Every structure is written in structure tokens, then in C-alpha cells.
Amino acid sequence: MNRDLFESKWKQIRSQTTAWWSLMNSDDLSKVDKAEIKLDKYVTMLRVKYGYTRDQAKKEIGKRITEHESEQKSA
């Protein structure tokens, strides 16, 4: 997951976050909204809440986006 891709899909990611990760809440998302580099803040949140490494967090984000897009295309 690269920063430009994340930024371009932020609204989609934001809307799905609580379904993907139940420990993330609206306060967390507000912090990401305000961050200069949203991907870094989001990854940090996943690391803190789920114990992911930086690489694990990025892979999980990419995986969830890919799954979501596949579901949207087949719907």
C-alpha cells in the first residue's frame, strides 16, 4: 500500500474501517483525517490497537481494499 493510493481511496477506506477493524472508532478516524500523512497515522493506529508491524498493517490495508473492490464489482 503506497501513500498516494491510500490518499486517493481514503473516503472508501474511512467508510469501511469500523467494519474491518472493530477496535477503530470515529475518534481514531478523526485523528487520521487531521494527519498530514494519513497512511502513516492509520498504520500507527493499527499497530497500537492490533499489535501489527508496520509491514503487516500495510499488507492488511491493501488486502482489505482489494477484497472490498472485488465485492463492489461483483455486486
Domain range enclosing 67: 3-74
The closest of 11, 14, 13 to 62, measured between CA atoms, is: 13
15-28 pLDDT, tens digit per residue, is 999 999 999 999 99
**Single pTM value for the model:** 0.91
22-74 pLDDT, tens digit per residue, is 999 999 999 999 999 999 999 999 999 999 999 999 999 999 999 988 988 88
To the nearest 10 degrees (0 to 180), the angle between helices 38-50 and 54-74 is 110
Cβ(32)–Cβ(39) under 8 Å?
no
Q: What is the CATH number of the domain that holds 42?
A: 1.10.1470.10
Number of structural domains (the chain) is: 1
List, in sequence order, the alpha helices (H) in 1-75: 3-8, 10-20, 26-34, 38-50, 54-74
